[in-house]
Each structure stands twice: as C-alpha cells, then as structure tokens.
Structure 1
Amino acid sequence: MQVHECVSFILLKDNQVLLEKRAKDKEYDPSLIAIPGGHIELGETKEQALLRELKEELDIVPTSYVHLCSLYHPTGELQLIHYYVVNRWEGKILSLEADEVTWYFLDSNPLEVEADKVALAEYRRLSSSLDMT
C-alpha cells in the first residue's frame, strides 16, 4: 500500500489551538473537525510543505515551529502525517480552504480524526519540554 506523506500544523495562541472544519467537498475526511494540513508534494521537504500549506490554507508565514511527531492516518489512502507545533507567525489567519477555522481551548476536544487526537495529546504531554524559540 502506498503511503502519502502530509504535514499538519498545531497553531497555538493563549492556551488555544486552531482547528478547521474540513470542506464538505474534500475527498478525505469531509466536514470533520481536524488539525489543518495538507499533502507533501513531490520533491518537497517536510518543512517546505509546512510553509507552503500554511500559506495556501491560512495565508500566514510561521516564525517559530517545531516538529512534534509523525502518525499514520488510514483514511481513503494511508497517510503519514508529520505534525508541527506553530506558536508564532506573520499575517492574519484566513480560512482559504476549510469551511471554517476556529480557536478551541486545549482542554476541549472536538477533534474527529484519531491521529489528530493522539497528536494533540502528545503536545500536552511534551509541551513543557518543546523548544519553541
């Protein structure tokens, strides 16, 4: 089975995380509440994909980010999602691809994708030791 690599970004602000309601016309996980992200294109590094996807999906440029973990997500295709924590960026967040983006408190858990739930739990577990400088 072919593995499709993706990046997802956990944006943080004031003890809140930005989540998206995926567009209903998306091929995979339509209308679900998820951590935003997208596929890595041929020839891209994970970091290049992160920068491109943040610009395409939210119209921002990260100024501080760190790789958190990588998890498999079996959907209509087998995805290997590389999760990044982003706590500083330039630009105003716009929802360019999702139906909507909303800030949620970290202790709430409206996520509907299991890999995203695990990634957010991993962030909570490691948050004090992550180097976000």
Structure 2
Amino acid sequence: MSVAIIPQPFAPCVSFILLRDGCVLLEKRRDDKEIDPGLVMVPGGHMEEGEHQHDTLIRELDEELGIQPRNARYVCSLLHPTDELQLLHYYLVTEWSGDIQAHEAEAVFWQPLSELDALDITPDHTAIAEALRLYGA
C-alpha cells in the first residue's frame, strides 16, 4: 500500500518578537535571499519537516542571532502571503543569553515601538500588537 503525501499549502515558520526597553528587534534581510529579499521584518525561519515549533524557535534563534531564549511565550499564528504562503507562528522573547548578532540578515536593529507605524511590516505589526496585548511586555 502506498501513501500519498499531500504538500501543505503553506510553509510553516517560526518568528520571534524580541522586546527590550520599549523597542522590538527587526532585521533587514539580505538582497540575495530567495524569500523576501531586502525586506525589514521580525526575524524567524522555516520549520524543518517533523520539527516542533519550540524546537524551531531554539534552532532559529541560534542560527539567526546567536542567542538562547530564557523565556518564550506563544503569541499567535498568522498567514503571510509573500513570495510563498507562510504560516508564521510568533513567540515573544524578553530574556535571552548571548549577544545578538546578525548571522543571516544584512543587519538587525532595535526599532522603538512608538515608531512601528512608519514601517510596512505586515503581519509582524499585528503580532507585535497582540504580544503587547496578551503579555503587556
């Protein structure tokens, strides 16, 4: 008996909202990236097949930023139609160990929450607002 594997209509991803001193960490993606080149967004990455969200979070935080979370709280999941349809699972991280570095992105920077409206970071803006509503971080 053969089993047909039906591909998912979306790419599952985990995104991490890092907050500190009234700012959120954003990345500017490199122009040579296949997905979302040059865009400014919340950092994150694709889940590997069979990987759980929390495992993706730990792996991607290390790969992308070189840090380990001390806490991580689930915020929400949102569909994001980009170069591919992504299902983004957002987590709020307010404590971590290690020094943040841009391993994969062109740059990472702290953006004041009060100035987020100036950036086109949909659906990240929605997830950040939800993180603040749920956790008051």
- Please list the CA deviations of residues 81-123 of structure 1 after superposition, one character each: whole Å capped at 9, or x if unmatched: 0000000001011100000000111111154331112111212
| SS of corresponding position for 1:122 | helix
TM alignment of 1:73-88, pairs within 5 A: 73-88=80-95
Paired residues of 1:34 and 1:111 also in contact (CA < 8 A): no
State the distance in 2 between where 1:123 and 1:40 align.
21
Aligned equivalent of 2:133: 125
Aligned equivalent of 2:122: 114
Which TM-score applies when normalising by structure 2? 0.88
Structure 1 residue 25 corresponds to structure 2 residue 25: no
Aligned equivalent of 2:10: 3
Aligned-pair RMSD on alpha carbons? Answer: 1.4
State the distance in 2 between where 1:88 and 1:8 align.
16
Identity %: 50
State the distance in 2 between where 1:65 and 1:78 align.
25
Count of paired positions: 129
Bigger Rg, which one: 2
Letter in 2 for 1:112: D
State the distance in 1 between where 2:46 and 2:134 align.
25
Structure 1 residue 52 corresponds to structure 2 residue 74: no
State the distance in 2 between where 1:56 and 1:35 align.
15
Paired residues of 1:32 and 1:112 also in contact (CA < 8 A): no
Letter in 2 for 1:119: A
Which TM-score applies when normalising by structure 1? 0.91
TM alignment of 1:29-48, pairs within 5 A: 29-48=36-55
State the distance in 2 between where 1:101 and 1:111 align.
15
| SS of corresponding position for 2:36 | coil
Task: Out of 46-55 and 27-36, give the one that drifted further.
Answer: 27-36
* Greater share of strand: 1
State the distance in 1 between where 2:119 and 2:126 align.
10
TM alignment of 1:61-100, pairs within 5 A: 61-100=68-107
| SS of corresponding position for 1:95 | coil
